[in-house]
Amino acid sequence: MSDNLPQYIEDRYIGGASKREVQKELKAAGWKQADITAALKQSPYTARSPLSPASMVAAVLGVVILTAGTFLVTVAMQQQGAQLPIPSDWTHAPLSHGEEPALSNPEFFATVKQDFIDKKSDLIEADLSAMTLNVYKAGELALSVPIMTKGREGSWWETPAGLYSITTKAESHFSSFGKVYQPWSMAFQGNFFIHGWPYYPGGEAVASTYSGGCIRLSTEDAEKVFNLADVGTPVLVFEEDFSSDNFSYSSLSAPLSAGSYLTADLKNNQVFYSEEAGNVVPIASITKLMTALVATEYLNLDSVAVVPKEALVYTSIPRFKVGDEISIYQLLFPLLTESSNEAAETIARHYGRSLFIQRMNDKAKAIGMTDSVFVDPSGADAGNVSTAEDLFMLAKYVYNNRSFVFNITSGNLKGSAYGASVFTDLRNLNHLTSHKYFFGGKVGQTIAAKETDLSVFEVPVEGEIRPLAFIVLGSNNSESDTTYLLNQFLERYAKP
């Protein structure tokens, strides 16, 4: 660790920066969490008051550049008089294609786009709000076409925003999900494609209201894009749902038993309280939210899994036996309500356990969970680790792109295209599901993780419904800690 690091932290604190801001700056500069934690302990200014409203905005702007085909992150920040030390082993880190957390800022989106242009790079830009797809070649606009349809918001097939790349191309791809052909098809994320107007095997075109979540163009326009795009071409997908609004809070504080926690608004990304939110710790069954995401984005939910012997592991409520046949969709219910480790293992082994776990880690990196690692699909292993900050990004992604996952956790999934749960005796082990503002979440408990909780509440504040994430890790009583934070928030901000 550099001798200058504690001094930098002290200078930034004196300049008015928050602990959260400083941690993010140092992470972006390449410092390891262990060095940051050690330096924070050395600083006499570490024990600060809760985050001020001015500190709620991220201090780091990641600018994507393209060099020899590799995405790199450069960092631009105002140091307010403090000289940022750089670790001796620092190197630029490649930016994973996927949902980039900074894309929640529309200015960042514009910056990323402009940087591709300035670097004379190729880029496909899909603006889901303007419903326009633009293709840039060597930084110049080569084609602009209208997007005909996208995934319906809030549905199982909502088109995810983020930064991706073209992974495969096919002049005609047959969708095993929709049982249709997709002309001039370009895959960019899991089961999501850019393609022309789909048609059934008999040649009949699908109705205009038909959508499986892909970005649909006219067939003529899709061919033009297909001919301009190569495998590996970046695809930047943006939607206003990820924009930050202007709602603001004043700070609050709370003494909790948890070693790490964070509470923040999912719409404006504003933190109103956090403590050790960057600490990497075991998360237990919160892991199952990632398991559900990978299952819904990479598996056909109608496909039937056979419960193998290896899936009958220790779990809170044993339910299955070897040879049981059940669809992936139905397995989501015991997975997310009674936290079934058996369901988690069955889902993963249906896909291929090692590859499924790899997909979990890929997805984590894709949505900005840079300090998270998954080693099993259930969270039973202490090697499943994350931070409160990373889990905020997970909550934001699920809320904006896969809200039905939260609906299952709360027991409020209605009108699903896949039908109702076949289980009539499920126990919902998630906390506060009966609270009138509870939207969804997941709890966990292991010896290593102690008690953990990620919960989202939709709370009316000054005439608006605000989605709030409450993340509690390493707690002696996560339900009590979450309740305390929620009640304090309600008393302060949601008075009638």
Three-state DSSP string of the chain: CCCHHHHHHHHHHHCCCCHHHHHHHHHHCCCCHHHHHHHHHHCCCCCCCCCCHHHHCCCCEEEEEEECCEEEEEEECCCCCCCCCCCCCCCCCECCCECCHHHHCHHHHHHHHHHHHHCCCCEEEEECCCCEEEEEECCEEEEEEECCECCCCCCCCCCCCEEEECCEEEEEEEECCCCEEEEEEEEEECCEEEECCCECCCCCECCCCCCCCCEECCHHHHHHHHHHCCCCCEEEEECHHHCCCCCCCCCCCCCCCCCEEEEEECCCCCEEEEECCCCCEECHHHHHHHHHHHHHHHCCCCCEEECCHHHCCCCCCCCCCCCCEEEHHHHHHHHHCCCCHHHHHHHHHHHCHHHHHHHHHHHHHHCCCCCCECCCCCCCCCCCEECHHHHHHHHHHHHHHCHHHHHHHHCCCCCCCCCCCCCCCCCCCCCCCCCCCEEEEEEEEECCCEEEEEEEEEEEECCEEEEEEEEEEEECCHHHHHHHHHHHHHHHHCCC
Quick check: pTM over 0.85? no
Query: What's 108-241's CATH class?
Result: mainly beta
pLDDT at 440: 97
Boundaries of every domain in the chain: 4-95, 108-241, 260-493
Catalytic residue among 288, 363, 396, 450: 288
Task: Indicate if 339 belongs to the active site.
Answer: yes
In the CATH scheme, what is the code of domain 260-493? 3.40.710.10
Contacts of 435 (CB under 8 A, 6+ apart): 457, 486
Catalytic residue among 18, 104, 339, 378: 339
pLDDT at 365: 86
Task: Indicate if 442 belongs to the active site.
Answer: no
pLDDT at 138: 94
pLDDT at 6: 77
Catalytic residue among 55, 165, 285, 475: 285
- Mean pLDDT per 10-residue run, the chain (496 residues)? 68 65 64 74 49 31 30 33 49 36 45 85 93 96 96 75 85 87 92 93 88 89 97 86 53 73 88 88 98 94 96 94 97 97 98 96 87 96 95 93 94 85 93 95 96 96 92 96 91 74
pLDDT at 30: 58
Pick from 96, 100, 94: nearest CA to 70: 94
